[in-house]
Amino acid sequence: MEDGWQPKPGDKIVRPRRIRRYRLRRVLGIPALFSAGYGNVGSSIYYALGIVAVIAMGATPIALGIAGILFIFTALTYAEGTAMFPEAGGSASFARHGFNDVAGFTAGWALMLSYIVTISISAFTIPPYLGFFWEPFKADPVLGTLTSMGIVIFLMTINVIGIKETSLVNIGAAILDITTQVALVVIGFILLFNPPLLISRIIENWPSTENLVFGIALASIAYTGIETMSQMAEETRQPEKRVPRALVMMIVAVLVIFAGISLVSLSAMTPQELATDWARDPVAGIAANLPIALISDVLKPLIALLAGTILLIATNAGLIGISRLAFSMGVHKLEPAILSRVHHKFKTPYVSIILFSLIALLILAPGFFAADTFKNMGALYAFGSLLAFMFAHASIISLRAKKPELERPFKLGWNIRIKGREIPISTIIGLLATTTIWIIILITQPYSRWVGMGWMVIGLIGYSIYRWKAHLPLTHIPKKPGEGRL
């Protein structure tokens, strides 16, 4: 267009259409973040305690305690990463920024597996708690597995339609859950806690070194769910401040309550009872063994109902987490667009919801006939989540080394200097520990090794084919002229 040009009568001026960028609404505060995170992490004690006891026996509180220390390091890593990149994706986002797209996909795909097993294991644990109201739910493995599958199908359907729990429901459930758990711990310490008996049960039922290490590995599943807060960062007001604060609050609440429940459990019953009769509903076992009948009669139905509700929300949270992660990975071209395709009527990512729900049903299927299904699901859960944690720790270290100039609203302290770069000690320890535990699971657990590695191989093959067909390099998306680089 030449300088001085003026429109003539009859000329039409066509202006470029403004392109809207749709983003998630930032409406969540610390209570909503904390409740969602605790709903995921706090619910895991309802099944993790029993899984750990199957392997660690008398060392169950020690295994949970050591895993709890690693949980602190991992939560702090997520606090720094999410404050830097307040976007859905969690460890997949950190890995994409810290390394490249292949690392981002690998972390995200491992996280997908973790979410799928969250759906399976949470649903698998609901029937035993409901067994208080009708014994066959707990006693009959076929009925229990069918019920678990029915729960997954029900939640898959309502998630496709678009019905989901609100933040208010999450907050209410978290408050009720914490109140009940604290009450159980306080009552348990008053009526059951017996230090000499507890010490003798720990010593007399001390596991082999191999089982102790594997018990610590399984105990790590008690603290998974940290990703939930990272996935919700795009919907949080001032996420760079509120996500770290919510994570710190969750660290304190989880460690105190889990420590109390694990100690009370071995005062209430022997490790053998915890690992057999009450393996899938260990918290119900504590209530059932309270010496005062009136208190026990009140707590048993309350815990059965509360555990079923919290585990139902955790199952649903796995489905919601998968949809958020699928969207994030689809936006950054880490997966085919079909996995984040939105239903024309319900406006939900129905393809990913249905596909991953079907895989969760496959993981539940061995419950019909295999006695070790519960333990296998726990090991597979740890496989996916620990691999995602490894990428989270490694990404923070990489970002500290490669991009020290990035703004870090929450920056980890206790650093060591390596070639002029500040590297957090907690992240180094977290990376070494999670890598070691993951390798132990890989070596000692055939089910999680073959299923987990098969999952990762299939994913990487699919990723490579997708990027090749899309004419994209494996490691990055080429920048358009004028675009900057992070």
Identify the pLDDT of residue 329.
86
CATH numbers and ranges of domains, the chain: 30-469 (1.20.1740.10)
CB count in 10 Å sphere of residue 461 = 10
- In single-letter form, the type of residue at position 425 comes to I
Which neighbouring-strand residues pair with 424? Answer: 415
Q: φ and ψ at 16, to 5 degrees? A: -60, 140
Note the pLDDT of residue 71: 86
Count Cβ atoms below 10 Å from residue 102 Cβ, excluding itself.
19
Handedness of CA 237, 240, 242, 247 (dihedral sign): positive
The two structure tokens encoding residue 390: 């490894």
Contact by Cβ (8 Å): 305, 318: no
Q: What is the pLDDT of residue 20?
A: 41
Spatial separation of the C-alpha atoms in residues 173 and 194, rounded to whole Å: 31
CB-CB contact of 357 with 156 (8 Å): yes
Q: Provide the β-strand partners of residue 417.
A: 422
- What is the distance between the alpha carbons of residues 262 and 57, in angstroms, rounded to a whole number? 12
Q: How far apart are CA 54 and CA 51, in angstroms?
A: 5
What is residue 168's predicted lDDT score, i.e. its pLDDT? 58
pLDDT averaged per 10 residues in sequence order, the chain, 486 residues: 52 45 56 72 85 92 90 90 83 92 94 90 93 91 94 88 58 76 89 90 91 86 72 70 81 87 91 90 90 84 86 82 79 82 77 91 91 87 91 96 90 88 94 92 91 95 93 79 50
Query: Do residues 128 and 108 make contact, with C-beta atoms less than 8 angstroms apart?
Result: no
Name 221's Cβ contacts closer than 8 Å, sequence gap at least 6.
44, 48, 51, 378, 381, 382, 385
Give CA–CA dist 308/442, Å, rounded: 31
**3-class secondary-structure state, position 166:** coil
Handedness of CA 467, 468, 473, 475 (dihedral sign): positive
Burial class (CB in 10 A: 0-12, 13-18, 19+), 293: exposed
> Which of these, 389, 448, 392, lies nearest to 120 by C-alpha position?
448
Q: What is the pLDDT of residue 363?
A: 95
Q: Are 340 and 330 in contact (CB under 8 A)?
A: yes
**Distance from C-alpha of 47 to C-alpha of 418, rounded to nearest angstrom:** 41
Alpha helices (H) in 162-238, listed in sequence order: 167-191, 195-204, 209-219, 227-231
Two structure tokens written together for 36: 């969602």
Got the DSSP string for 361-406? HHHHGGGGT-TTHHHHHHHHHHHHHHHHHHHHHHHHHHHHHH-TTS
Give yes or no for a contact between 395 and 486, defined as CB atoms under 8 angstroms apart. no
What pTM value is reported for the model?
0.84
Range 48-78 burial, b when 16+ CB lie within 10 A, else e: bbbbbbbbbbbbbbbbbbbbbebbbbbbbbb
Cβ partners under 8 Å of residue 22, min gap 6 = none
CA separation for the pair 133, 286 (Å, rounded)? 17
Which of these, 311, 278, 277, 332, lies nearest to 87 by C-alpha position? 332
Tokens found for residue 108: 């995200």
Q: How far is CA 98 from the centre of its chain?
A: 21
